[in-house]
Chain A
Amino acid sequence: MTIPTISRLLFLHAALSALHAADAPIKVGHYASLTGKEAAFGVATRKGIMLAVEEINTQGGVLGRPLQYLVEDIQSKPGESATAVKKLISRDKVVAVFGANASANSLEAAPICQNAKVPMMAISSTNPRVTEVGDYIFRICFIDPFQGAVLAKFSRDSLHARRVALLTAVNSPYSVGLSEVMRHDFKARGGEIVADQKYSEGDKDFRAQLTAIRSAKPDVIAATGFYTEAALICIQARSLGLDIPIIGGDGWEAPQLVELGGKAVEGTYYSTYFSAENDATEVRAFVQRYKTRWNGETPEAVSALGYDAMYLIAAAMKQSGTTEGPRLRDAIAAMKNFPGVTGRTTIDEKRNSAKAAVMIAVKDGRAKFHEAVTP
């Protein structure tokens, strides 16, 4: 073969691969619990991401190429996340990875993404350690301490409280963390913490703590633990004649709260990521599109987070003009005020998302959207 022929062939090959690259889909991977005990979260997240991928593709894709979404089931089992994410990166060559819902799973897969320099976006893993793994690891949800700040602002500005009583589950790092930030921020906003009572998870009797709280005459009680204790706290507070608002974090978000608490949880508020009842135009439009795509199902908070995560990564690809790891990473890290259905997302220096939280009010036995709060 003559040299010109070879060069011609090489040229042809290069041209073909360029052509190929232009049309080849951009692959994004997702490891999720589609079966097992956390399946509800994984399935709802997947539906949100898929809706975003389909919408982006009908609008012509990203950088002129369509998106291709690949999902691996981790069966809610420890150990599966690492295998799944290795497969996604080395065999499927995905350019970005969506993380799991449980922090434990995200922590497992994060070092692999970090080493391969593939950006990973965790969905609802709130443990602060997740993004501390490395500079390629991000999350689309807020972290636990953030909610403390939200609760402090909400009680001061919306409930006009001057005196707050804290009720903390001492054996739950989540509750302790929330109370700590709440204590600090509420004081910083000129309020006063008038009682600081504690209990252990699994306790059933809170009358003693609540009696002490009643004597301190607070305007608001913040119970930062989980829904079972929260419901019992509300019942016993009402039976002691404490008819003031009681507030909590997303640990309250479960149907059991109203089921257990009944009338006692009326007039309580809790913070969470997203409410399908939010009246904002973009949320209403998203809920409508989601219902059309998924046979009338209402999106969960994680569906909205997944949806926003996909759009945020697509925006980062457009801004950097590439899908290669390091530059995509920089573009994600620089994301500020990105508009999504879960509010405006700003990626902070610790690669967490700072965004508005949603306050839910319990009224007439139902959890209703109350307002969005940005601390």
Chain B
Amino acid sequence: MAEFLQQLLNGLSLGAIYALIALGYTMVYGVLRFINFAHSDVFMVGAFIGYYAGKLVPEGTIWGGLLVLAIAMAGCAILGMTIERLAYRPLRGAATLNVLITAIGVSLLLEYSGQVFFGAAPRTFPAVFPSANFSVGGLVISSNQIVVIVVATLLMIALEFIVHRTKIGTAMRAVSLNPKAAQLVGINNDVVISFTFGLGSALAAAGGILYALNYPSIEPLMGVMPGLKAFVAAVLGGIGNIPGAALGGLILGVVETFVNGSQWSTYKDAIAFAILIAILLFRPAGLLGKFTVEKV
């Protein structure tokens, strides 16, 4: 029983990170109907901003950790908006395939510029948050796992609030529903899309920091696998659907952890993806995806 609960906790903290990255994929898809493959590399840049910012604040303090988180999120929001402005906006209205190829190009550009600027060797991420272990029965909870779950939950609540309770959120949903009609009622689509990229990239940065806190070895290609998993999570939950992305991330994290702890650990990715295929066979739009209703 203790082992089951421990694995569940491990899985939830991994899944929370997948969920944060998946949200970025899903939001951009909701608004623009295309997969932003550079998203996983924004995640990596977030971790590196955190690495450099982490050297400026004292280690192991809560305010220092939150400051690093804020700096990385702001930095990546700017990066995300810049990518959108320079690489995707000129292609607005072009065939989806062109934008998709551009996204792959931007992804490779970020990965290999990262290797030039940061070097290909792994670096040690500083322990920016205070760390301790708590023992409850047979369960050991590390403070980093608590930080991951708390920060991820707060960010998802904030996102839910922005999308449903604010003017810009309403505009996002409007653009997602019908871009032309949104323009007719006076919404500036460029601003909304730019905001969506900024928001998604900020979440990716938060994911990057949380990931690096738990697995403190960072390198320029670190985004590839988590990015792929998060993409799967987004599709699993129903791409374009925000609660779906969160649910998909959690499911994937938990399944992966349980398989990893069993004797079939070599097949962990195969099993995770097989579950994806199975779910999509029965629910082609994903777990929470609907064909008609809201898509942001």
Bound: A185/B190 CA distance, A:
67
A198 and B265 form a contact (CB under 8 A): yes
Within 8 A of B (CB), among A121-179: 170
B266 and A170 form a contact (CB under 8 A): yes
A279 interface residue (CB < 8 Å to B)? no
- Of the listed stretches B36-44, B72-80, B87-95, B255-263, chain A binds B255-263
B10 and A232 form a contact (CB under 8 A): no
Chain B residues within CB distance 8 Å of chain A: 2-3, 6-7, 10-11, 14, 122, 124, 127, 131, 133, 135, 140, 142, 144, 211, 214-217, 222, 225, 256-263, 265-266
Chain A residues within CB distance 8 Å of chain B: 170, 196-200, 202, 204-205, 207-209, 211-212, 214-215, 228, 231-232, 235, 238-241, 256, 259-260, 262
> Mind listing 7 A-B residue pairs with CB under 8 Å?
A196-B263, A208-B7, A212-B7, A232-B217, A239-B131, A241-B135, A260-B122
B265 to chain A: closest residue by CB: A198
Which 9 A-B pairs give the minimum distances between C-beta atoms? A208-B260, A204-B215, A208-B261, A239-B142, A207-B10, A241-B140, A212-B261, A208-B257, A215-B3
B265 and A211 form a contact (CB under 8 A): no
Residues of A near B266 (CB, < 8 A) are 170, 198, 200
B interface: dominant SS: helix
A interface: dominant SS: helix
Minimum Cβ distance to chain B for residue A11 (Å):
67
B217 and A205 form a contact (CB under 8 A): no
A259 to chain B: closest residue by CB: B124
B217 and A208 form a contact (CB under 8 A): no
Residues of B near A214 (CB, < 8 A) are 3, 6
Minimum Cβ distance to chain A for residue B83 (Å):
25
Minimum Cβ distance to chain A for residue B77 (Å):
25
Bound: A211/B258 CA distance, A:
10
Residues of B near A235 (CB, < 8 A) are 216
Bound: A212/B6 CA distance, A:
9
Bound: A171/B225 CA distance, A:
16
A209 and B133 form a contact (CB under 8 A): no
A256 and B122 form a contact (CB under 8 A): yes
